[in-house]
């Protein structure tokens, strides 16, 4: 595998951005790894970070490079700061950057990345899982598969848990604007799913996993049931665990097996 640290400029954000990229490499003598590289363009997984982290954390907290070494897949790990993968009320267009500019930049920098929706995947933990679902539900022509690990599928539940607790309300209004209008808006995943289902556009395949001791467990199960009722192909798995990297390190390996990489 090749691990690249990319520093480039985002016209959308008007600033320099960072991302880590893992690229497939066919190797014969690397001890402990079996490198692989497909003959054509390779599938790409956009792997998104959670609220307290940055683009380095999937590499630092898991063995993602080792897990993908034999799969012939590229992994893009971008930095979204504390944006919630949203065009924020304070004026930073992180959503547009992630949904439109980032895939275009990656395919320009790395022309061997596939541009097929069935070979373009997105996954993330917590806030990153919210971002993954949001990308796939809004840009299903780009992202054919989305996976969440303890994803914040119900952003309204997250707001109610955090306001006047660990994070001040002004933080959330800076991102989403009026909090009374989040439900049913472009930031409500279930609303996005409902609109996509009615549109006749292709539906992404979805995957969600959560620990049974996770504080998001109850709201997640409820959201997953609503996705099922709408007719989405969603795989759901749960096991003992909390909102932590011990759980996500195990689950990302299951997600890689779920993706159509054979």
pLDDT digits (tens, 9 = 90+) for 70-87: 999 999 999 999 999 999
Confidence of residue 180 (pLDDT cuts 50, 70, 90): confident
Task: Count the Cβ atoms, other than its own, within 10 Å of residue 240.
Answer: 9
What is the separation, in whole angstroms, between the first and last Cα of the chain?
A: 18
| Token couple for 34 | 């079996």
- Check if CATH label 3.40.50.1820 holds for domain 2-258: yes
- In the Cβ-directed half-sphere of 230, how many Cα atoms lie within 13 Å? 25
pLDDT at 228 over 70: yes
Q: Judge whether residue 15 has pLDDT over 70.
A: yes
Pair 10, 81: CB distance under 8 Å: no
Asked if pLDDT for residue 207 goes beyond 80, the answer is yes
- Whether 32 shows a pLDDT value over 80: the answer reads no
* Distance of alpha carbon 179 from alpha carbon 157, whole angstroms: 12
Alpha-carbon distance of 164 to 167, in angstroms, equals 6
Compute the average pLDDT of residues 180-189: 91
Residue 164 pLDDT class (50, 70, 90 cuts): low
**Residues 232-244: pLDDT tens digits?**
999 999 999 999 9
pLDDT over 70 percentage in the chain: 96
């Amino acid at each position: 595998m090749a691990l690249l640290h990319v520093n480039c400029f985002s016209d959308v954000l008007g600033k320099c951005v960072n991302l880590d990229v893992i690229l497939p490499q066919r190797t014969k003598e690397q001890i402990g790894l079996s490198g692989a590289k497909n003959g054509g363009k390779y599938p790409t997984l956009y792997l998104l970070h959670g609220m307290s982290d940055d683009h380095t954390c999937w590499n630092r907290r898991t063995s993602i490079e080792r897990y993908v070494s034999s799969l012939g897949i590229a992994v893009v790990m971008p930095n979204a700061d504390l944006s919630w993968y949203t065009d924020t009320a304070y004026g930073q267009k992180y959503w547009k950057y992630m949904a439109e500019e980032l895939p275009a930049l990656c395919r320009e920098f790395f022309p061997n990345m596939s541009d097929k929706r069935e070979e373009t995947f997105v996954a993330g933990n917590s806030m990153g899982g919210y971002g993954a679902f949001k990308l796939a539900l809004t840009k299903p022509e780009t992202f054919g598969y989305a996976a969440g690990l303890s994803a914040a599928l119900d952003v309204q539940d997250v707001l109610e848990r955090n306001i006047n607790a660990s994070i001040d309300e002004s933080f959330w209004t800076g991102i989403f604007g009026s909090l009374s209008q989040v439900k049913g808006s472009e930031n409500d995943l279930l609303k996005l799913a409902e609109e996509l289902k009615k549109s006749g556009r292709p539906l992404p395949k979805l995957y969600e996993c959560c620990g049974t001791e996770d504080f998001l467990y109850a709201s997640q199960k409820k959201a997953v049931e609503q996705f099922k009722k709408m007719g989405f192909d969603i795989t759901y798995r749960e096991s003992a665990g909390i909102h932590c990297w011990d759980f996500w390190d195990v689950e990302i390996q299951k997600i890689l097996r779920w993706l159509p990489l054979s």
